[in-house]
Each structure stands twice: as C-alpha cells, then as structure tokens.
Amino acid sequence: MRNSVGWLGLSGALVAVGALLALGGCAAVPDGALLPKAPTPEVVTQTVYVPVYVEKEAPALPTPVPEPLKLPEDQEQSLALLLEMARAASASPDDLRKEFAASQTAFNKEKSSVNRLRFAWLSVLLGPAAGDDARLSGLLEPLVAKTGGLAMTHPLRPVADVMLLQISERTRQVREEQKRADALQQKLDALKAIEKQLLDRERRRN
C-alpha cells in the first residue's frame, strides 16, 4: 500500500515538474523563434506599352476622269455632219443661203462624200432656188452607187438613201400633179373650143 502511494506521489511530482518546465520553456522562447520568418517578396516594376488605335478618316481619292470615247474617223465625220444638218434645218433664210454658198464652194473644191451630202441637204432646204430634183439626184446617186459609193454599213449611207427616196417621191408627186394639171388644161381647152363653136354658130345666125 505504501508503495502504491509512493508511486502515485512520484508520478504526480513528475507531472508537475513537466508542467512547470513546459510553462517555463514557453515563457523563455521568444515569439517567432520556432517558425522561420517568410521572406518579403521583391517587387518588380515592368513598363507595359499598350497600343492605342486612333481612327483617322482617309482623304478622299480624286475621282478619275474618264477618257473621251474615240470614234472611228468615218463615224466622227458622220456625227458632225448630222449635227450640222439638224442645225441647218432651223436656220434663218439668210443663214441658210450663206451655208449653201459655203457648201457649194467646199464641194467644188473637194467632191468628198461629206461635202456632197452636205451640199445636197442644203439644196433640199433651200428649195427650187438651189436647183431641180434632177440635179439633187445627180448629187446623191454617186453615194449609193455599187462602185465607189458608200458601204451599206457606213453611218451616212442611210441618210443618202432616205434623201434619195424623198427626192424620188417628190419627183413622183410633181409628175402626178403635172399630169393632173395637163388633164385639166385639156378639159379647159375642150370647153373653150366648144364655147368658140357655139359663138361662131350664133354669129352666123345673126
């Protein structure tokens, strides 16, 4: 029994001593002595360039000027002549006579297709003062001749064809009017002859 009590007393004493040592050790160790202090991270500074996009209105490009359309020579001459013909159709009588005289001079100097057609057209506009239809036909017929005339694809060929048709139709109408005038004159002559016969009979009776 004594031994048991002694053992328990010794154990209690050891426990008490251990507790004191533990308390004393805790008191003696400074704060942070047991754990290593974490190193302070080094601050690294880096310059970063961020591109900034600025929208800038592009200057307007100059509008290209299209080159004028270049026509073949025969088409250019035909177009110029058609414009002259259209202008001459509304010209005053004085201007028309001047243009007719100029066209006649040009035709006598050079009997080209353009000069021939211009001279014929102004002759048509001027009327009987420029000559009869036979002379006009003589001006235009070389343009539509199989040999030396304008090709069927030439821009001025339709103009010459139309003018010849108009002259031919006008000649036909003049011929028909002349026939009617001749027939009427024959009737008038017959009536005059009858009237003369009646007068002669009346005179003989008296």
Domain assignment of residue 33, yes or no = no
Report yes or no on 89 lying in a domain. yes
Which tokens go with 7?
């053992």
Q: 118 lies in a domain?
A: yes
For residue 186, being part of any structural domain is answered with no
Structural domain includes residue 158: yes
What pTM, to 2 d.p., does this model score?
0.52
Q: How many helices (H) and strands (E) does the chain have?
A: 6, 0
Place of tokens 């308390």: 23
Residue 152 within any structural domain of the chain: yes
For the chain, which residues score pLDDT lower than 70? 1-44, 46, 48-61, 64-73, 206
pLDDT of residue 106: 92
**E strand or H helix at 204:** helix 157-205
Which tokens sit at 53?
């996009």
CA 27 – CA 24 distance, rounded (Å)? 5
**Per-residue exposure over 9-24, b if at least 16 CB sit within 10 Å of its own CB, e if not:** eeeeeeeeeeeeeeee
pLDDT digit string, tens, across residues 94-107: 999 999 999 999 99
- Residue 138 domain-assigned (yes or no): yes
Residue 22 backbone dihedrals phi, psi, to 5 degrees: -65, -45
- Asked if the structure places residue 161 within a domain, the reply is yes
Q: How far apart are CA 40 and CA 186, in angstroms?
A: 144
- Res 102: pLDDT: 93
8 A C-beta contact, residue 77 and residue 114: yes
pLDDT of 9 reads 46
Which of 144, 139, 169, 170 is CA-nearest to residue 156? 144
Q: What is the domain extent for residue 98? A: 73-174
Number of domains in the chain: 1
DSSP line for 98-117: HHHHHHHHHHHH---HHHHH
